[in-house]
Homo-oligomer: A and B are copies of this chain.
């Protein structure tokens, strides 16, 4: 007997329809998680063909608002950025809950989300680490994009492993026509998820607005239109090269070369004890609203 559940497909990191990154969200909060199998959830994620498909369940940990399971077309993930923001938006709309702090239970643990009065949703990033990239690999990456880095590129491990490069300005970022075949080979050899390139927005002198692009051809994604984890990697990289001593907010735009207009509102939060937290957020719009039969 097929089961019919509430469904939304949410556009994430945009206030403008069809200009963000979509995530498919099924509301399973009124059934028990044991009533569906992982194989069933995986089959749905393969069928939607989106980079991520998620399922909201009743939380099993105290203090959490919901439990989220996140699938790509091929596998289950412990965490992902844009699906977290989009699924939180769907949770708020499905349940009518109105509050500023939401706790998401997921494979990575408990994720803190903040909902502003104007409905921007941000998540606080989990652990990450930073590593060197060899001179020869840096040179190879620069050559696949015909660019020159203005700071030494680094490898950011934020879940996915992004090679992060900074160039002169956003115009140089937007000009890039990567050699995807060569980049695929480099990603594969070095076990990198892909490449993030950013540059200061032209005309912006305050140093707080950047254009970035995310390439992950070895994952089957030539260019990810609006990438949460890539944005986090870039933010962490900015802290590495600037060593900010005071908290700072950033506006990051993404997707212009692939017909999108992603807007990410980010914060590097310097705590009194010197610890640094990273926040990534934006608006989200539920574009498809209805049911899914499974």
Chain A residues packing against B (C-beta within 8 Å): 2, 7, 9, 11, 17-19, 22, 43-44, 46-51, 259, 285-294
Contact = CB atoms under 8 A, between A and B. Distances in A.
A67 to B, nearest CB: 22
A131 to B, nearest CB: 30
Given A47-B22, A49-B50, A259-B43, A17 B290 contact: no
A215 to B, nearest CB: 15
A290 B290 contact: yes
A283 to B, nearest CB: 14
B50 A17 contact: no
Contacts of A287: 47, 292-294
25 contacts: A2-B17, A7-B290, A9-B288, A17-B293, A17-B294, A18-B43, A18-B46, A18-B47, A18-B294, A22-B47, A22-B48, A43-B259, A46-B259, A47-B287, A49-B49, A49-B50, A49-B51, A285-B293, A287-B292, A287-B293, A287-B294, A288-B290, A288-B291, A289-B290, A289-B291
A285 B43 CA distance: 15
B288 A11 contact: no
Contact of A49 (B22, B44, B294): B22
Contacts of A47: 11, 18, 22, 287
A9 B53 CA distance: 15
A257 to B, nearest CB: 13
A291 B290 contact: yes
Contacts of A288: 7, 9, 288, 290-292
A287 B49 CA distance: 14
A116 B47 CA distance: 26
A259 B43 CA distance: 8
Contacts of A46: 18, 259
Nearest to A290: B290
A158 B279 CA distance: 51
A258 to B, nearest CB: 8
Contacts of A19: 43
Contacts of A48: 22
Q: Which of A11, A19, A287 has the most CB of B within 10 A?
A: A287
A47 B19 CA distance: 8
Given A290-B290, A290-B291, A293-B287, A44 B18 contact: yes
Contacts of A7: 288, 290
Nearest to A39: B259
Q: Which has the most chain B C-beta neighbours within 10 Å: A288, A290, A293?
A: A288
A25 B70 CA distance: 25
Contacts of A43: 18-19, 259
A268 B287 CA distance: 42
